[in-house]
C-alpha cells in the first residue's frame, strides 16, 4: 500500500471513468481533464438508438481530450485491457447499473494494477442512513458493492457527496416553471446538504489522487451548503424578489406513496423523505476515520448556496435527468 501511495504522489495518474457521459460523469470527465489527467471514458457504443444529445456529449468530451473506449459492461476482456492502461477508476454509472460494478471489480482483480477505485456512491452515506424500504433497497445494492471492494482488498475511496446542488435546486425550486407555489416536503426545517456538481467533480478527482483518502469514506458537509428547504426558499425569494406559497406535503403522505407507488417511482419519494423530511444527511456524527470534504481541502472554495442560486439567476442550468437513488 505504501508503494501505491508514493507512486500516486509522484505521477499524473491516468483516470478511467465509467458512466462518463452521464449526469455527474460529464462533470467528472471535465474535472479530470482540467486537472491534467490523461482521461479515459468507457462508454456503450453508438447505435442507431443512441440519442443525438448522447452523440453530442461523446463529441464534446472527445474534443476536450477524453479517450473513449466503447464497450458493454459484460465485455470482461475489453474492460481488463483498458484497466491495464490506467491507474484510477471512477464509476459514475447510473443507479440501475450499480450491481454491474461487480463486473468492474472482477476486472480490477484480474488486471491487478489499479491504485484506487471510487464506486458510484455520490449520494448519502449509505453505511449510516436507514431510509424507507424502496430507497433502502437501493442503498443495499451500493453497500454490496462497497463490501465486495473491501473483500477484494482494492484500494478505494467512498464518496458521499450528499445532494447534487443544481439538480436539487431544479427539483425543489422549479426555476424553469412559471408557478407561484413551491412544494415543501414535511416541515421544511430539516437540514440537507446541497453541493454544486462542479465542486463535487473537482474534489472527487482530487480525492482519487490523495493518499489521505485511501480506504476512507469522505462525506461532504461544507458549512455554507447545509440548508433546509425553507431557508433555501427564502434565499430564492430574496434574490428573485418574488414570494411563493408553500404547499406542504406531509410526511405520512410520502410514506404512503413509498408503499403504494410502483417501482421505480417509489424511490424518489423515499429518498426525498430521507433527505428532506428526516434530515438523514445530517443525522449522524462522522466517525473518527471518516473525512469531511471541506476540512480535507480547506483552500477549495465550495460554491455556497447563495452563489449557487446566483448561478441560477444568471444562467439557469437546465433540469437534467439523473438516476435518483
Q: How many residues bind ligand NAP (CB under 6 A)?
A: 25
Phi-psi region of 11 (alpha: psi -120 to 50; beta: other; left: phi over 0): beta
Burial of residue 321 (number of CB atoms within 10 Å: 0-12, 13-18, 19+)? exposed
Residue 23 touches ligand NAP, criterion: CB under 6 A: yes
Site string for ligand NAP, 85-124 (x = CB under 6 A): -------xxxx-x----------------------x-xx-
Give the Cα separation of 154 and 112 in Å (integer): 9
Strands 163-164 vs 226-228: parallel, antiparallel or unpaired: unpaired
Please identify, among the stretches 4-12, 161-169, 231-239, 248-256, the one whose residues bind ligand NAP according to the rule CB under 6 A.
161-169
Residue 135 touches ligand NAP, criterion: CB under 6 A: no
DSSP state of 210: -
Give the Cα separation of 142 and 250 in Å (integer): 28
Q: 154 or 163: whose CB is closer to ligand NAP? A: 163
Q: Which residues are bridge partners to 163 per DSSP?
A: 194
Residue 156 touches ligand NAP, criterion: CB under 6 A: no
Residue 192 CB, nearest distance to ligand NAP (Å)? 10
Catalytic residue (one of 142, 191, 239, 295): 142
Residue 44 touches ligand NAP, criterion: CB under 6 A: yes
> Helix 165-173 to helix 197-208 angle, to the nearest 10 degrees?
160
Site string for ligand NAP, 50-79 (x = CB under 6 A): -----------------------x------
Which residues ranging from 254 to 313 are in contact with ligand NAP (CB under 6 A)? none
Residue 96 CB, nearest distance to ligand NAP (Å)? 6
Residue 19 touches ligand NAP, criterion: CB under 6 A: yes
Residue 27 touches ligand NAP, criterion: CB under 6 A: no
Residue 139 touches ligand NAP, criterion: CB under 6 A: no
Q: 4 or 102: whose CB is closer to ligand NAP? A: 102
DSSP string, 215-252: TEEEE---GGGEEEHHHHHHHHHHHHT---EEEEEPHH
Residues in CB range of 20: below 8 A, 6 or more apart: 26, 28, 29, 41, 42, 43, 61, 66, 92
Q: 176 or 181: whose CB is closer to ligand NAP? A: 176
Going by C-alpha positions, the residue among 29, 282, 305 that lies closest to residue 166 is: 305
Residue 301 CB, nearest distance to ligand NAP (Å)? 20
Residues in CB range of 132: below 8 A, 6 or more apart: 255, 258, 270, 273, 274
Which residue is nearest to ligand NAP, using beta carbons? 22
The question of whether 85 is a catalytic residue gets the answer no
Only one residue has cell 436539487, namely: 168
Residue 164 touches ligand NAP, criterion: CB under 6 A: yes
CB atoms within 10 A of CB 178: 5
Residue 193 touches ligand NAP, criterion: CB under 6 A: no
Please identify, among the stretches 156-164, 216-224, 262-270, 293-301, the one whose residues bind ligand NAP according to the rule CB under 6 A.
156-164
Helices (H), the chain: 2-10, 23-34, 52-64, 76-83, 101-111, 133-151, 165-173, 197-208, 229-240, 251-260, 266-272, 293-296, 305-314
Q: 8 or 221: whose CB is closer to ligand NAP? A: 221
Interface residues with ligand NAP (CB under 6 A)? 19, 21-25, 43-44, 73, 92-95, 97, 120, 122-123, 161, 163-164, 167, 322-325
Provide the annotated active-site residues.
Answer: 142
Amino acid at each position: 500500500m505504501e508503494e501505491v501511495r508514493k507512486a500516486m504522489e509522484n505521477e499524473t495518474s491516468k483516470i478511467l471513468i465509467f458512466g462518463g457521459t452521464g449526469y455527474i460523469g460529464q462533470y467528472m470527465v471535465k474535472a479530470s481533464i482540467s486537472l491534467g489527467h490523461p482521461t479515459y471514458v468507457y462508454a456503450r457504443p453508438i447505435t442507431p438508438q443512441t440519442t443525438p444529445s448522447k452523440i453530442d456529449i461523446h463529441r464534446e468530451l472527445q474534443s476536450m481530450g477524453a479517450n473513449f473506449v466503447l464497450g458493454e459492461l459484460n465485455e470482461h476482456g475489453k474492460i481488463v485491457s483498458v484497466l491495464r492502461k490506467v491507474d484510477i477508476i471512477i464509476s459514475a454509472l447510473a443507479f440501475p447499473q450499480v450491481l454491474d460494478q461487480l463486473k468492474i471489480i472482477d476486472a480490477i482483480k484480474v488486471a491487478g494494477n489499479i491504485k484506487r477505485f471510487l464506486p458510484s456512491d455520490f449520494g448519502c452515506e449509505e453505511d449510516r442512513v436507514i431510509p424507507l424500504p424502496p430507497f433502502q433497497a437501493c442503498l443495499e445494492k451500493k453497500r454490496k458493492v462497497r463490501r465486495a471492494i473491501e473483500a477484494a482488498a482494492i484500494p478505494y475511496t467512498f464518496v458521499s457527496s450528499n445532494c447534487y446542488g443544481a439538480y436539487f435546486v431544479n427539483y425543489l425550486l422549479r426555476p424553469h416553471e412559471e408557478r407561484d407555489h413551491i412544494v415543501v416536503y414535511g416541515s421544511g426545517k430539516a437540514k440537507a446538504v446541497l453541493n454544486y456538481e462542479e465542486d463535487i467533480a473537482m474534489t472527487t478527482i482530487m480525492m482519487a489522487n490523495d493518499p489521505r483518502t485511501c480506504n476512507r469514506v469522505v462525506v461532504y458537509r461544507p458549512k455554507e451548503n447545509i440548508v433546509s428547504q425553507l431557508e433555501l426558499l427564502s434565499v430564492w425569494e430574496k434574490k428573485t424578489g418574488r414570494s411563493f406559497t408553500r404547499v406542504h406535503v406531509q410526511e405520512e403522505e410520502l410514506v404512503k406513496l413509498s408503499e403504494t407507488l410502483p417501482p421505480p417511482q417509489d424511490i424518489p419519494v423515499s429518498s426525498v423523505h430521507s433527505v428532506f423530511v428526516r434530515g438523514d444527511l445530517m443525522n449522524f456524527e462522522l466517525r473518527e476515520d471518516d473525512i469531511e470534504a471541506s476540512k480535507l481541502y480547506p483552500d477549495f472554495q465550495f460554491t455556497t448556496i447563495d452563489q449557487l442560486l446566483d448561478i441560477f439567476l444568471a444562467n439557469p442550468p437546465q433540469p437534467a435527468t439523473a438516476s435518483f437513488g
